[in-house]
């Protein structure tokens, strides 16, 4: 086993193009000779993954796929689905026993059908020992009853994206780090016709991320560590009251936004503050016409609320293999291959900060220091809670987030569909159904 140090870790990192296609293939061939998992003869591996938001990330990922295929002889088929379509597609495959060999989805997807997932503890142990160990929340997200049922390949850090000039025009020289100051900033930005806006529709990534931050930062959780339903609480009332004041400052239309809506509005110049990954910034830098927006952008962590400590929900991307696959060795080999330093470092850089690492050793990747505006995303895996919050990560927690229980509660009140008691009652009723 290679000794872990900064020099070995950064081998092959450099710029995105540091390792040529030939170099990557040479590494893949050498790796294939010594890997633990020998793919089945004439194997074909069908992978269903979330649809990319950063083109360079997808391009680099496909280079990894091509090198793996050429080095191992495994035929690779990659298909893509939107965030919102991943869960139903994977669930149908799990229930019918037909479909992709690998599903690379979001949040706690494997816990919707843990008994249908191939155990991958050998892959997790290999990678964890080699690359400094796993951060706690990604590890919890990919384990069921102490066993690894998926591999956390990446985390999408979602933080505050804002226009610097608009913040300063609103009277703030630095971004507020407390929820009270944040609300005042959003009020002032609305008054200046440079509004904020966060997704209140069924946006699996952006919507769930900011809603859970807002609730958790006020001490509002769906269940406690014993799975007792605790959503009907004074903390939830205070959180919803804050949410209503905040959403009153939003740009019109947020109630129907999906995961791409705020990107489009921000790059169109209509939106000046939102919660998102770094993809807006990456997209603006890549388009000369949008460079002025990129130059005027920066990022900030979610403000701390009354609970007094950071409470974040970042988007974990677990990669699972179904038990029905006829090529389990090929599936495990591919999972391990993706996270090897020679592949993973250039991939992180190609993503431009959109993807964050679940393995501690990749703190050393230069993507986090080459541009100060990337730095906030580095700690997403370190700072996030699991999608279950303070509760256990399991099928019930996965169902709650897949059903948008918390997101709908906030949206129901903030859009006027329900009063506070009604919005909480609906969420409590849904939780009782899920946790019965």
List the domain range (segments joined by +) for residue 237: 159-313+403-434
Report if residue 398 sits inside a domain. Answer: no
204: pLDDT strictly greater than 90: no
CA 363 – CA 175 distance, rounded (Å): 25
Per-residue pLDDT at 20: 65
- The band of 19, judged by pLDDT with boundaries at 50, 70 and 90, is low
Enclosing H/E stretch for 273? strand 273-276
Do residues 368 and 375 touch, judged by C-beta distance below 8 A? yes
376: pLDDT strictly greater than 90: yes
Closest CA to 192 of 176, 177, 172: 172
277 & 354 share domain: no
46 & 147 share domain: yes
151 & 196 share domain: no
Average pLDDT over residues 295-312: 96
Per-residue pLDDT at 53: 82
416 & 307 share domain: yes
Reported for 178-186, long-range contacts at CB under 8 A and 24+ positions apart, including other chains, are 178/303, 178/304, 178/305, 179/217, 179/218, 179/242, 179/303, 179/304, 179/305, 179/306, 181/303, 182/246, 182/303, 183/242, 183/245, 183/246, 183/249, 185/273, 186/246, 186/249, 186/250, 186/273
Query: How many domains in the chain?
Result: 2
Q: Which position has the token pair 């690379």?
A: 104
254 & 171 share domain: yes
pLDDT tens-digit map of 244-262: 999 999 999 999 999 889 9
56 & 86 share domain: yes
Q: Which position has the token pair 């959109």?
A: 354
Per-residue pLDDT at 52: 83
Per-residue pLDDT at 3: 33
Report if residue 169 sits inside a domain. Answer: yes
355: pLDDT strictly greater than 80: yes
179: pLDDT strictly greater than 80: yes
pTM of the model: 0.86
Query: Terminus-to-terminus CA distance in the chain, angstroms?
Result: 47
153 & 163 share domain: no
From the DSSP assignment, how many helices (H) and strands (E) are in the chain?
A: 19, 10
Average pLDDT over residues 59-65: 96
Tell me how crowded residue 316 is: count the other CB atoms within 10 A of its CB.
Answer: 30
- The band of 16, judged by pLDDT with boundaries at 50, 70 and 90, is very low
Per-residue pLDDT at 296: 98
Reported for 307-311, long-range contacts at CB under 8 A and 24+ positions apart, including other chains, are 307/216, 307/217, 307/218, 307/219, 310/383, 311/212, 311/213, 311/216, 311/217, 311/385
Report if residue 389 sits inside a domain. Answer: no
CA 356 – CA 159 distance, rounded (Å): 12
Question: Phi and psi (nearest 5°) for 8?
Answer: -65, -40
- Using left for φ > 0, alpha for ψ between -120 and 50, and beta otherwise, residue 67 falls in alpha
Three-state SS annotation for 105-135: CCCCHHHHCHHHECCCHHHHHHHHHHCCCEC
121 & 52 share domain: yes
Average pLDDT over residues 137-148: 96
Residue 425 CB-density burial (10 A; 0-12 exposed, 13-18 middle, 19+ buried): middle
CA 247 – CA 258 distance, rounded (Å): 16
108 & 119 share domain: yes
Query: Which of the residue ranges 10-14, 93-97, 251-255, 300-304 would you say has the lowest mean pLDDT?
Result: 10-14
- The band of 429, judged by pLDDT with boundaries at 50, 70 and 90, is very high
145 & 221 share domain: no
Question: Mean pLDDT in the chain?
Answer: 93
Report if residue 102 sits inside a domain. Answer: yes
Do residues 86 and 48 touch, judged by C-beta distance below 8 A? yes
CA 205 – CA 224 distance, rounded (Å): 23
89 & 173 share domain: no
CATH number for the domain harbouring residue 362:
3.40.190.10
Do residues 144 and 388 touch, judged by C-beta distance below 8 A? no
Buried b (16+ CB within 10 A) or exposed e, 173-190: eebbeebeebbbbbbbbb
184: pLDDT strictly greater than 50: yes
Per-residue pLDDT at 4: 30
Query: Which of the residue ranges 48-57, 118-127, 339-348, 370-379 would you say has the lowest mean pLDDT?
Result: 48-57
187 & 101 share domain: no
pLDDT tens-digit map of 279-294: 999 999 999 999 999 9
* Residues forming a β-bridge with 46: 77
Per-residue pLDDT at 88: 93
């Amino acid at each position: 086993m290679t000794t872990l140090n900064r020099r070995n870790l950064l081998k092959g990192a450099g710029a995105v193009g540091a390792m040529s296609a030939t170099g990557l293939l040479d590494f893949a061939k050498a790796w294939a000779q010594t890997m633990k998992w020998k793919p089945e003869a004439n194997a074909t591996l069908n992978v269903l993954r979330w649809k990319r938001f950063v083109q360079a990330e997808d391009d680099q990922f496909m280079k990894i796929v091509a090198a793996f295929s050429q080095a191992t002889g495994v035929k690779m088929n990659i298909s893509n689905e939107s965030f919102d379509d991943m869960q139903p597609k994977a669930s149908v495959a799990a229930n019918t026993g037909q479909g992709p060999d690998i599903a690379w989805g979001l949040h706690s997807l494997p816990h919707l059908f843990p008994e249908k997932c191939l155990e991958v503890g050998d892959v997790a142990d290999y990678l964890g020992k080699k690359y400094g160990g796993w951060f706690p929340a990604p590890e919890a997200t990919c384990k069921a009853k102490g066993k690894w049922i998926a591999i956390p390949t990446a985390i999408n850090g979602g933080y505050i994206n804002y226009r610097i000039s608009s913040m300063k025009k609103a009277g703030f020289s630095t971004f507020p780090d407390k929820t009270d100051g944040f609300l005042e900033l959003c009020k002032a930005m609305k008054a200046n016709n440079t509004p904020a806006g966060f997704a209140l529709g069924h946006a699996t990534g952006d919507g769930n991320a900011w809603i859970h931050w807002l609730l958790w930062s006020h001490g509002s959780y769906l269940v406690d560590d014993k799975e007792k339903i605790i959503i009907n609480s004074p903390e939830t009332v205070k959180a919803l009251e804050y949410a209503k004041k905040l959403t009153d400052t939003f740009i019109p239309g947020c109630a129907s936004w999906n995961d791409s809506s705020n990107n489009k509005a921000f790059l169109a110049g209509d939106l000046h503050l939102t919660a998102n990954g770094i993809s807006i910034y990456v997209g603006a830098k890549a388009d000369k016409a949008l460079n002025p927006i990129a130059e005027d952008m920066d990022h900030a962590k979610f403000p701390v609320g009354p609970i007094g400590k950071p409470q974040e929900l970042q988007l974990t991307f677990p990669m699972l293999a179904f038990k029905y696959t006829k090529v389990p060795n090929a599936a495990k080999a591919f999972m391990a291959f993706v996270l090897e330093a020679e592949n993973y470092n250039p991939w992180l850089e190609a993503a431009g900060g959109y993807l964050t690492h679940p393995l501690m050793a990749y703190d050393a990747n230069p993507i986090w220091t080459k541009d100060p505006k990337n730095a906030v995303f580095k700690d997403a895996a370190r700072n996030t809670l699991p999608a279950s919050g303070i509760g256990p990560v399991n099928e019930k927690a996965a169902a709650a987030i897949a059903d948008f229980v918390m997101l709908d509660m906030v949206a129901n009140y903030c859009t006027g569909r329900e009063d506070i008691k009604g919005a909480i009652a609906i969420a409590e009723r849904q939780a009782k159904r899920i946790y019965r």
